[in-house]
Amino acid sequence: MQASEETNDDFLFIDDSDEDEILEDSSNDTWKVLIVDDDPEIHSVTQLALSDLVVLGRRLEYFHAYSGRDACQLIEQHEDLVLVLLDVVMETDDAGLNVVKHIRDELDRQDIRIVLRTGQPGYAPEESVIKDYDINDYKTKTELTRRKLVTTVFAAIRSYQQIDTVTENRKGLEKIICSAAELLELHSVDEYAEGVLKQLSALSDCESGVFCARGQGIIEGADDLSLYVLGQQGFSSVLNHQKVDMLANETIQQQVTSCFQKKQHIFDTDSVSLYLSSGGYRAVIHLVLKTALTDTQKQLIEVFMTNIATGYENVHLFQKLSDAAYKDWLTDLPNRLEFVNLLDNFAQSDNTELVAGLIDINHFSDINDGLGQDLGNQLLMAVTSRMKAMGEQCQFARVGADVFGIIGTKDKVNPEKLSLLFNKPFSAGEQHLPINACFGLCEKADAGSRGVNVLNQINIALNLAKKNNQEHFVYYKQEMEEKTLWRLGMIRQLRTDFAENRLELWYQPQLNLQTGKVIGAEALLRWRTADGQFVSPGVFIPLAEYSGLIIEIGDWVINQACQQIKTLEQESFDDVGISVNVSIPQFRRENFVDSIIDATVRHKVLPNKLELEITENILMDEPQVVIDALVKLKQQGISIALDDFGTGYSSLSYLQKLPLDRLKVDRSFVTDITKPGQAIIADTIINLGKQMNLKVIAEGIEEEEQQAHLKAQNCDEVQGFFYAKPMPADEFLAFLKANE
């Protein structure tokens, strides 16, 4: 300190006040003030002058630095300094100004108030420095009487408090804005509750908290008006989805209940209960505080609660949408879409003991149709309840009307354990229904890498299980999918080739056994691919039936056969008819009978020239549907033949009901007809046909000896390689001309 400064020090803190500025102390908190001066006496007199001062309810706490360098270090160490009384000239002429720059630029402390003091009346910092660095005041030491010092300090601290309040509000609002953005990303009520507690912890100094609301519609099984814990912080996670009573804290229970009933916030010194309401959705958030909330914190929390209320309503609505999208409306189980997500987790799991599967209730549609949909729904609920009893180790879903999904370990998910689910009748209404099921299963080792792949795999296994007459379950293996892919590829190729007219109708002549004259032909479908290769009917006919393409192909065959009849008439073969095979999918069509009659009318052929061949297997499927259709066709003059008679398992009583014209003896009964004891079935069928006044035709004749035996039995007609193989239409016409 220079001599001129020492001279002026004598004027420092002259008491020119009429009354003291000392206020009544009301707090243990202090304002931390840093005195920076290279003269120790200045420190003493400054502290003495302000010794009893209380500003805004707080006393002053002093820190001392005797150089600019020391001041910078102290400010870095104490983030709660509010005021710096700073000498300008110390170890250098601009030491004080360097401290100012350090505070504002390097530490970015814009809140600290700075009062510059100098003992040199002629020395002053530039005006731009004072303005740019937000210096609260600049005084010469001769100006600072005690009153003026008190006023300067008081104004500086008040300014700090205002800045601090604004800063706290700004930071609080920033937290509210950020928290609102974070909370918008949470899509379940539980996540939202936990998220709100986390954000409130950032806005207050809380020790713990709970988020409470009524459980109806949120917690499974909660059907009363009790308050439940949806989220917690600082308590135990086991409290989640438990009643508030489980907190075992009567004070908290009372405060939460009171807040919920009064529908308003309740602020105490050691706790706060916050009321949340929007769109009919209500909740209470209770916080246990470490320190009482400031007025600013209260204001910010109220703003925060207003801001998140709509979000609370939205998350409820989102959860309802999510439930609608991912939950089954009847059983409350995950639906097909969510089951795919569960299968994704299954596919990515490292647990090799896991098994995924589908459970298909057999003949559920019969129950639904016969006893009503309401009882069917009760049955599904009963099945769901029994499945859940297997334990939380298993995950269940409803993926179809009567199909359930399951994921669990091998010891739980296996045919034996699953069969036990169905070993007792299920209670549905007043009914006790015994049901059984089929299971398609896939072990983790055989599973695909994605949920949709696994669902396809267990669906393949289930379809095979449903067709398996021996066992009611199938485990998926890779070769099954390969076979399925092959089948799908063949179906695609069949559709393409059918559209491109690569299917052909060939004809195998049928002859009168006594005269040797051709009386007709069986139309046989052939598939010649683009490369000229033929696909066996034994392969593609089942594929056509499986895919439904058999309907279109069947219509095409009928029309081709009618065209061929017309062509034969034009060539003067008026007595030659065409026989066509039909399948059960064709019979199921409502307009099947009309489509046959329409074809004969459109092509202008006599109905009795067209014969429809059916098999016993068709009768086994839906006998009455078939019989009704055949009766109508017979009334229109269409001929009816029963093919492969004797190879099926139909009752002979159906034979009397069918409006038949011909019986066909299957080739399997003709092959060994000349061997001792092997002709009895063929002979019986021929005799049966005679007694029923039906024509009997034997197929598969390949030897003269077979022909001789059949002729001896008075069989009417024959067909087979012994006479002619199946041939294209033009060759068949040539065959007829050659055998006139």
495-513 confidence digits (pLDDT tens): 999 999 999 999 999 999 9
- CA-closest candidate to residue 312, choices 194, 435, 462: 194
CATH homologous superfamily of 186-326 = GAF domain (3.30.450.40)
pLDDT at 284: 94
Annotate 125-150 with three-state secondary structure.
Answer: CCHHHHHHCCCCEEEECCCCCHHHHH
Mean of the pLDDT values across residues 625-631? 89
pLDDT at 657: 82
pLDDT at 168: 63
- Residue 576 banded pLDDT, cuts 50, 70, 90: very high
Q: State the helix-helix crossing angle for 592-602 and 550-570, rounded to 10 degrees.
A: 30
354-361/717-719 β-pairing: unpaired
Asked whether residue 613 carries a pLDDT value surpassing 70, the answer given is yes
Asked whether residue 27 carries a pLDDT value surpassing 70, the answer given is no
The residues facing 139 across adjacent strands are 117
Domain ranges of the chain: 3-168, 186-326, 336-476, 494-738
**Single pTM value for the model:** 0.52
Q: Work out the mean pLDDT of the chain and round it to a whole number.
A: 86
Cβ atoms of 668 and 647 closer than 8 Å: yes
- Residue 287 banded pLDDT, cuts 50, 70, 90: very high
pLDDT at 121: 57
Q: What is the DSSP code (8-state) at residue 124? A: -
- Residue 604 banded pLDDT, cuts 50, 70, 90: very high
Residue 81's contacts (CB-CB under 8 Å, 6 or more residues apart) are 32, 33, 34, 63, 74, 75, 112
- Per-residue pLDDT tens digits for 407-446: 999 999 999 999 999 999 999 988 899 999 999 999 999 9
Annotate 579-626 with three-state secondary structure.
Answer: EEECCHHHHHCCCHHHHHHHHHHHCCCCHHHEEEEEEHHHHHHCHHHH
Residue with more model confidence, 563 or 162: 563
From the DSSP assignment, how many helices (H) and strands (E) are in the chain? 26, 27
pLDDT at 23: 41
User: To the nearest whole percent, how much of the chain has pLDDT over 70?
Assistant: 89
Phi first, then psi: give them for residue 310, nearest 5 degrees.
-65, -35
Cβ atoms of 215 and 180 closer than 8 Å: no
pLDDT at 319: 79
Count of Cβ atoms closer than 10 Å to residue 405 Cβ: 26
Q: Give domain 336-476's CATH number out of 3.40.50.2300, 3.30.70.270, 3.90.850.10, 3.40.50.2000.
A: 3.30.70.270
Two structure tokens written together for 290: 């470490």
Q: Give domain 3-168's CATH number out of 3.30.300.10, 3.40.50.300, 3.40.50.2300, 3.40.50.720.
A: 3.40.50.2300
Residue range 494-738, CATH number: 3.20.20.450
- The CA distance from 270 to 675, in Å, is 106
Phi first, then psi: give them for residue 693, nearest 5 degrees.
60, 40
Mean of the pLDDT values across residues 450-472? 91
